[in-house]
């Protein structure tokens, strides 16, 4: 089985330990890259950015053996700004992410009444993708993943910040799902992988503290923040509330034209027909 | 003449160049320490924290040959918090400052309706003064001076920030004065020093860019921020508005019991009798 997973600290509770299994091949990439791996059949199952489920050119299904989500602050899906949120006119958006950029558009529109210009930003290299311009401190930027912590900007540069998970929860009262395990409908290796992933996640539930002690530094995290993060911020399980949060997000994204239509989440236990199309 | 001055980047426009004058002895210290130097007659004139004028056990006068103030953001008088401003219960306050702590109390009370506990915090050594406890990231802290920039906390630690200069200006529409030149009434060397300081400040007005290019790095500042800082943020002149801002601050501080009474600002051209006593 070939499994594609995000190489962030927050993914460890989903996959740590799999490296000891001989019939598993783990492929690591940033969230936005994994959908390509899956569609090209280079992996059987991948932890993809959630919105890619709706945007996929061919139908996919959810394997409900874990997710990366939240029900409040995430710490690592974060808007940084030198101007007050209400005065934002453009956002440099981390190309590692698809779902977070869509979430940003939804929140800025629904909560703040803003439709800023979006600029593709290679945050690792501090480079504007279209122009190649190097820009150390964009006026406003969306960053995701470990770099929010491991390469945190000096606070003095960004007096205005917003945690997208916290804003979503305040706005809707619902959890949010950033990434989920996706597979192609006929792939039976994905079902086998799903069983293993489900077992490993349950096993890892009790091991999070030890994992953080062992791996936080390698990912550039202070251990104190890492523990709070995987215990109190990131969620790993499909629940009905998580399903409802995901659908609420898709409906908003659809209304805003971020996606063309909302497909039901095939594979998630509570999934049902839904009606929005833009 | 013995001149006591703050050793912050923002003080250079007031004092840079004085080191070439043979009859001037410059003594550098943090703002909160200078009042002690003046009262002990170890300097003739000192750039003291403004509130010390009101708290001094013996009468002092203002020598109106410059000040450190603002009419909006200061960048370097800054509240950092891990919780939203409205939920602050205690603030670790940088012991380098007197006036900023008083300003914090006024703003939290008048703007936010908060009277948090205040903890003396040796911010350079990250140590609680009373207990000796080392505390890297207090939940809420007030920092002043170069360390706000040169030792800026990682943004991820402090999602909530407030610039006290900006808050004051929004609240009152007036400038704020953080530090002013003080002297004892009978000291004639202070008058001579005042003439020299006045001339040097005027001379330095046109030299700020060069000063920042030459000295920013030594103070731990990026040059881009340093230029914005001394051109657009920090003000250096007594004006009627600066005087009114100072008096408005004293009246608020007096109402709140931070000072016992408001003395007129002897030496400032617009000074007049005032009425508040707590």
For chain B, what are the domain ranges? Answer: 2-68+175-255, 77-172
Task: Report the residue of chain B nearest A159, measured CA to CA.
Answer: B161
Q: Determine contact, residues B141/B93, Cβ cutoff 8 Å.
A: yes
pLDDT in tens, B141-157: 999 999 999 999 999 99
Could you name the CATH architecture of A77-172? 3-Layer(aba) Sandwich (3.40)
Mutation for testing the B interface, residue in A80, A87, A139, A156 having most B CBs under 10 Å:
A156
What does the block give as tokens for A241?
């509330």
Q: Per-residue pLDDT averaged across B159-166, rounded?
A: 97
Element spanning B195, H or E:
helix B188-204
Helix A164-172 × helix A240-255 angle, to 10°: 90
Per CB-CB distance under 8 Å, the chain A contacts of B154 are 149, 152-155
β pairing state of B2-6 and B140-144: unpaired
Q: Tell me the CATH class for B2-68+175-255.
A: alpha beta
Q: Per-residue pLDDT averaged across B41-49, rounded?
A: 97
Q: Which of A129, B203, A1 is nearest to A141 (CA)?
A: A129
Which of B153, B156, B158 shows the shortest C-beta gap to A75? B156
- Whether B136 and chain A come into contact, CB under 8 Å, resolves to no
- Whether B87 and chain A come into contact, CB under 8 Å, resolves to no
Tell me how close the Cα of A25 comes to any Cα of chain B, in angstroms.
34
Tell me how close the Cα of B78 comes to any Cα of chain A, in angstroms.
9
Tokens 């779902």 belong to A99
- Whether A158 and chain B come into contact, CB under 8 Å, resolves to yes
- pLDDT value of position A174: 98
The tens-digit pLDDT sequence of chain A (278 residues) is 999 999 899 999 999 999 999 899 999 998 889 999 999 999 999 999 999 999 999 999 999 999 999 999 999 999 999 999 999 999 999 999 899 999 999 999 999 999 999 999 999 999 999 999 999 999 999 999 999 999 999 999 999 999 999 999 999 999 999 999 999 999 999 999 999 999 999 999 989 999 999 999 999 999 999 999 999 999 999 999 999 999 999 999 999 999 999 999 999 998 765 555 54
Task: Report the residue of chain B nearest A147, measured CA to CA.
Answer: B156
Mutation for testing the B interface, residue in A123, A136, A155, A167 having most B CBs under 10 Å:
A155
- pLDDT value of position A82: 96
- Whether A157 and chain B come into contact, CB under 8 Å, resolves to yes
Check if B2-68+175-255 and B77-172 are the same fold. Answer: yes
Tell me how close the Cα of A266 comes to any Cα of chain B, in angstroms.
36
What does the block give as tokens for A192?
């086998």
Q: Determine contact, residues A88/A114, Cβ cutoff 8 Å.
A: yes
Between the alpha carbon of residue B250 and those of residues A31, A154, B54, B254, B255, the distances in Å are 55, 33, 8, 6, 9
DSSP string over B209-254: HHHHHHHTGGGT--HHHHHHIIIIIEE----HHHHHHHHHHHHHHH
**DSSP tag of A152:** P
**Confidence tier at B30 by pLDDT (50, 70, 90):** confident
A2-69+177-239 CATH pick, 3.40.50.12780, 3.40.50.920, 3.40.190.10, 3.40.50.2300: 3.40.190.10
Give chain B's mean pLDDT. 95
> Please, which residues bridge with residue A67 across strands?
A180
Mutation for testing the B interface, residue in A159, A161, A228 having most B CBs under 10 Å:
A159
What does the block give as tokens for B207?
């030299």
- Whether A219 and chain B come into contact, CB under 8 Å, resolves to no
Between the alpha carbon of residue A129 and those of residues A31, A126, A133, the distances in Å are 17, 9, 8
Per CB-CB distance under 8 Å, the chain B contacts of A163 are 159
Q: Which of B161, B73, B154 is nearest to A160 (CA)?
A: B161
CA distance B52 to B32: 8
- Whether B149 and chain A come into contact, CB under 8 Å, resolves to yes
Tell me how close the Cα of B155 comes to any Cα of chain A, in angstroms.
4
Q: Which of A61, A91, A106 is nearest to A161 (CA)?
A: A91
Q: Determine contact, residues B61/B185, Cβ cutoff 8 Å.
A: yes
Q: What is the largest CA-CA distance in chain B?
A: 53
Per CB-CB distance under 8 Å, the chain B contacts of A156 are 75, 78, 148-149, 152, 225
Mutation for testing the A interface, residue in B141, B156, B158 having most A CBs under 10 Å:
B156
Which of A154, A160, A161 shows the shortest C-beta gap to B152? A154
Per CB-CB distance under 8 Å, the chain A contacts of B153 are 154-155
Task: Report the residue of chain A nearest B155, measured CA to CA.
Answer: A155
pLDDT in tens, B74-121: 999 999 999 999 999 999 999 998 999 999 999 999 999 999 999 999
**Is residue B274 pLDDT above 90, yes or no?**
no
- Whether B250 and chain A come into contact, CB under 8 Å, resolves to no
- pLDDT value of position B232: 94
Which of A149, A156, A157 shows the shortest C-beta gap to B156? A149
- Whether B78 and chain A come into contact, CB under 8 Å, resolves to yes
Backbone angles phi, psi at B184, to 5 degrees: -80, 150
Q: Determine contact, residues A243/A265, Cβ cutoff 8 Å.
A: yes
Q: Determine contact, residues A54/A62, Cβ cutoff 8 Å.
A: no
- Whether A268 and chain B come into contact, CB under 8 Å, resolves to no
Which of B155, B159, B160 shows the shortest C-beta gap to A154? B155
- Whether A84 and chain B come into contact, CB under 8 Å, resolves to no
Contact A155 B163 (CB under 8 A): no
**Confidence tier at B271 by pLDDT (50, 70, 90):** confident
CA distance B55 to B258: 9
Tell me how close the Cα of A92 comes to any Cα of chain B, in angstroms.
17
């Amino acid at each position: 089985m070939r499994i594609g997973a995000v190489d962030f600290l927050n993914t460890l509770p989903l996959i740590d330990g799999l490296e000891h299994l001989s019939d598993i091949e783990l492929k690591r990439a940033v969230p936005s890259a994994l959908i390509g791996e899956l569609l090209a059949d280079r992996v059987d199952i991948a932890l993809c950015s959630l919105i890619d489920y709706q945007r996929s050119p061919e139908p996919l299904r959810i394997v409900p053996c874990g997710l990366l989500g939240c029900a409040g602050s995430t710490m690592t899906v974060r808007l940084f700004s030198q101007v007050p949120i209400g005065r934002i006119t453009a956002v440099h958006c981390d190309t590692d992410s698809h779902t977070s950029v869509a979430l940003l558009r939804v929140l800025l529109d629904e909560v703040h009444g803003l439709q800023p210009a979006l600029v593709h930003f290679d945050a690792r290299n501090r480079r504007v993708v279209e122009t190649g311009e190097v820009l150390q401190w964009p006026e406003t930027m969306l960053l995701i993943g470990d770099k929010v912590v491991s390469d945190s900007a000096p606070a003095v540069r960004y007096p205005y910040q917003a945690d997208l998970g916290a804003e979503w929860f305040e706005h809707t009262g619902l959890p949010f799902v950033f990434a989920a395990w996706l597979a192609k409908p006929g792939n039976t290796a994905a079902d086998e992988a799903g069983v293993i992933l489900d077992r490993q996640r349950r096993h890892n539930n009790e091991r999070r503290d030890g994992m953080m002690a062992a791996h936080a530094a390698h990912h550039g995290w202070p251990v104190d923040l890492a523990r709070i993060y995987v215990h109190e911020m990131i969620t790993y399980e499909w629940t009905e509330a998580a399903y409802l949060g995901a659908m609420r997000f898709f409906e908003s994204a659809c209304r805003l034209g971020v996606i063309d239509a909302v497909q039901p989440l095939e594979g998630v236990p509570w999934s049902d027909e839904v009606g929005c199309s833009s």
